[in-house]
Structure 1
């Protein structure tokens, strides 16, 4: 019976996987959008094409997505909302602004009158977190301060887990914190022992695990359920400058002071590719279609087909008006946002964004009523922090070995019970005979 039950469970899992694959193939036919890259002429290099030539070749709607904002409170950090419609920028000298960058409509703008180190959208585009000089402050879409998280002190890195409603922060003192934004409760906060300074932070979108890059070239993977790193990887011989994660959460790109860019498979914990760069890269980001953007001083280079073929030359190259502090690809758009010391720039990167979107997950065209409904659905389907695990496939599966052990224990108990019952019957019979 035990072998039959385990076999039936495996058959059910295989049947579910086959159904999912067949449904995906059927739905792929209905996807209307197709992505495309720049197709150069004979003996022409794509990195020689500048933004003016790209803007003159595209339609008017796409051309308006390339613009520059000259601002005097930089350098600026950039963060796009998940649906790719709203952008949030924060200047080191206190300037904070949120806008619908497609229509160029300003949502809010104010100056906090102190330094800004990190900025992050939360579960909806009407609320965001701002890491200021001392504490983390929460603001709404009108620029009103809603809350001040004084337990999060001197924060310089932030990530938000939308499915868990967790704001993850890293401080200058090395403290890692997970805060539940639904109730303001601090889920976990600890200072890892024997861990060097945190230089960068990223999240895996599939399992909610936080990845941190350190000054000794090590990448650590963290969950709020343990004060020790779940996985440690030595990625570079020198200090790490930045790390980026693909949209499927299975691969990682790392930059180091050893002038190398390395591509990793997080599942296998093995390097896929290693490329030598001409200079030290400062920022990195990965688009939805696996394009990699790297900044060097005031120059941004975008690389294509790094995962499958050898990297020989960049796909695109762009020069900004100042030293670059932050770069972010916009979801569902062929756009790269650049935050530098003289403001914010938006450049066109053909082929960067996913052409099709899931309206139930992230809808760029959602109305206010749809936004309210989505917020309620997200709260109802909130995943507890205890379920954050490096292997997300564990959740929802049958623990066959544990079931077999329970079955053995149950059979042993039933046999012992039968023996005890039989011995009791014998005792009664002997007493009656006497």
Structure 2
């Protein structure tokens, strides 16, 4: 108890006010004095607990460090295993499934559950840390992509023609017939939107809570098999065959931004958690790093083989899958790097899809012969928010989180490049608005004066049998159709002619003949 009462460093930073114990002791009322002293003690204890917890929040993650002339990318997983604890060593594994590959993978938001889908129809979901299998099935048709929905109870699979929704036991719940020939799937957790794009070139948003199609956009750039989401603003990024990357929101019929990134088809896109940086790879053999805030190029690298998969960890590590190699780059968005942070070779297999596990120093990837998991020190975020994604949540907590997320669901119209504009106030004054309006009116008047002053050459009208009017009249006479618009126009013309005639009669000079008339 004496150790607990000792002052802790940075304790004053968490105190709401300066201690007033001496003033409280002067109060004559015993009940009030005891109550205020207890409140003072609770406040001090809370400040000390927060100061002690700050010691656990290290600014620098535990990265792998080499000594002397050693290089970190030369360390293999079997060399790291003796220096790791038993729990971490168990996360290094490989599942050999050569008859159903290549495999696409996806982790839940809390990093506990893994979903795999083989191109030849094999689908499985399990808790990869405990080894508990949820289900395993074979759909007997091609599987192009898989993704979890809001939690581990539901998942979506892009099969040969349609997209199917399965539950945790592997039972088919829905068949989305409006999503045809889909190549890539993404799920927006805060909006409950399932996004798909495929060989028909249509980007589709479907609300999984109501079952309605929210938006269906034709990209106009042909088939698309590269898609990712920006977790900061929920904007979808598509990579196209002509080397462009387009940014989409369901409320807009056209892309928000269109970037020319490569000279060939875009093969992979990855965006960091903060929404500041983007990595792209193309068939031209280049990997480029971009700043999305300014849409400027930061770095570019030439890869030995085309990078087919990219991913960025919560701490900013960039994972690259090219050929049979998996490379992880550290501080790639800050400065030009000469060598990767870590490297792994999956002999005799081509990397299909790689993902960093949330809140874990683990990288999982699917390849032609199955799936593998390797340890990448410093890749995971250690300080997680349990209200956002809890790796240790119970069944009751999962149910409560699902209800709260449905109540807090965001509308699709709130997806935009700058989400901070939502709920903002226009700071322009009335004088500024009137001044801007006057300038626009003046500019419009100037344009009208310019149009009136220039000589416009009249178009030569056809007056023969083949004029547009004659052809229209012959067509109407042949069909024996009454054109109501034409009849209304003729009535209006006759009324206008009668009005003008009446005005002319009024303006005529008065004569004696008019008396007898």
Secondary structure of the 2:81 match is helix
**Cα distance in 2, alignment partners of residues 258 and 407 from structure 1:** 49
Q: Which residue of 2 aligns with 1:78?
A: 105
Residue in structure 1 matching 2:242, options 192, 205, 216: 216
1:152/1:396 Cα in 2 relative to 1: closer, same or farther (>3 Å)? same
Give yes or no for contact 2:163–2:177 (8 Å, CA) kept in 1.
Answer: yes
**Cα distance in 2, alignment partners of residues 113 and 365 from structure 1:** 35
1:407/1:295 Cα in 2 relative to 1: closer, same or farther (>3 Å)? closer
Q: Which residue of 2 aligns with 1:166?
A: 193
**Cα distance in 1, alignment partners of residues 332 and 393 from structure 2:** 34
Residue in structure 2 matching 1:134, options 161, 167, 175: 161
Q: Which residue of 2 aligns with 1:102?
A: 129
Q: Which residue of 1 aligns with 2:492?
A: none
Moved over 4 A (4+): 26-29, 405-408
Q: Which residue of 1 aligns with 2:332?
A: 306
Q: Which residue of 1 aligns with 2:54?
A: 30
Q: Which residue of 1 aligns with 2:409?
A: 382
Residue in structure 2 matching 1:155, options 182, 187, 190: 182
Q: Which residue of 2 aligns with 1:10?
A: none
Secondary structure of the 2:87 match is helix
Q: Which residue of 1 aligns with 2:393?
A: 366
Aligned-pair CA distance for 1:166? 0.2
1:87/1:405 Cα in 2 relative to 1: closer, same or farther (>3 Å)? farther
1:149/1:310 Cα in 2 relative to 1: closer, same or farther (>3 Å)? same
Superposition pairs for residues 417-432 of structure 1, below 5 Å? none
**Cα distance in 2, alignment partners of residues 356 and 342 from structure 1:** 34
How many residue pairs match? The answer is 382
**Is 1:42 the counterpart of 2:61 in the alignment?**
no
**Is 1:180 the counterpart of 2:207 in the alignment?**
yes
Aligned-pair CA distance for 1:360? 0.1
Residue in structure 1 matching 2:256, options 227, 230, 254: 230
1:192/1:45 Cα in 2 relative to 1: closer, same or farther (>3 Å)? same
Q: Which residue of 2 aligns with 1:423?
A: none
Residue in structure 2 matching 1:269, options 278, 295, 309: 295
Aligned-pair CA distance for 1:397? 1.1
Secondary structure of the 1:247 match is coil
1:388/1:54 Cα in 2 relative to 1: closer, same or farther (>3 Å)? same
Aligned-pair CA distance for 1:278? 2.6
**Cα distance in 1, alignment partners of residues 423 and 232 from structure 2:** 14
Residue in structure 2 matching 1:282, options 303, 308, 313: 308
Flag the structure with higher strand content. Answer: 1
Secondary structure of the 2:413 match is helix
1:379/1:319 Cα in 2 relative to 1: closer, same or farther (>3 Å)? same
Aligned-pair CA distance for 1:30? 3.5
Unaligned 5+ segments in structure 2 are 1-49, 435-517
**Is 1:88 the counterpart of 2:115 in the alignment?**
yes
**Cα distance in 2, alignment partners of residues 172 and 259 from structure 1:** 23
Residue in structure 2 matching 1:199, options 211, 225, 243: 225
1:86/1:386 Cα in 2 relative to 1: closer, same or farther (>3 Å)? same
**Cα distance in 2, alignment partners of residues 78 and 62 from structure 1:** 20
Aligned-pair CA distance for 1:29? 5.8
Aligned-pair CA distance for 1:277? 2.2
Q: Which residue of 2 aligns with 1:239?
A: 265
Flag the structure with higher helix content. Answer: 2
Secondary structure of the 1:65 match is coil
Q: Which residue of 1 aligns with 2:139?
A: 112
**Cα distance in 1, alignment partners of residues 178 and 209 from structure 2:** 16
**Cα distance in 2, alignment partners of residues 255 and 177 from structure 1:** 24
Secondary structure of the 1:372 match is helix
Unaligned 5+ segments in structure 1 are 1-25, 409-434
Secondary structure of the 2:331 match is coil
| Higher Rg of the two aligned structures | 2
Secondary structure of the 1:153 match is coil
Give yes or no for contact 1:32–1:356 (8 Å, CA) kept in 2.
Answer: no
Give yes or no for contact 1:31–1:356 (8 Å, CA) kept in 2.
Answer: no
Question: 1:274-318: CA deviations, max 9, x gaps?
Answer: 222233211111111111111121111111111112210111111
Q: Which structure would you say has the larger RCO, counting Cα contacts within 8 Å and 6 or more residues apart? A: 1
Secondary structure of the 1:400 match is coil
1:342/1:363 Cα in 2 relative to 1: closer, same or farther (>3 Å)? same
RMSD: 1.9
Aligned-pair CA distance for 1:197? 3.0
Q: TM-score, normalised by structure 2?
A: 0.72
Secondary structure of the 1:378 match is helix
Aligned-pair CA distance for 1:406? 11
Secondary structure of the 2:262 match is coil
**Cα distance in 2, alignment partners of residues 141 and 334 from structure 1:** 26
Deviates more, 1:87-96 or 1:303-312: 303-312
1:299/1:28 Cα in 2 relative to 1: closer, same or farther (>3 Å)? farther
Give yes or no for contact 1:192–1:227 (8 Å, CA) kept in 2.
Answer: no
1:27/1:99 Cα in 2 relative to 1: closer, same or farther (>3 Å)? farther
**Cα distance in 1, alignment partners of residues 175 and 296 from structure 2:** 41
**Is 1:260 the counterpart of 2:286 in the alignment?**
yes
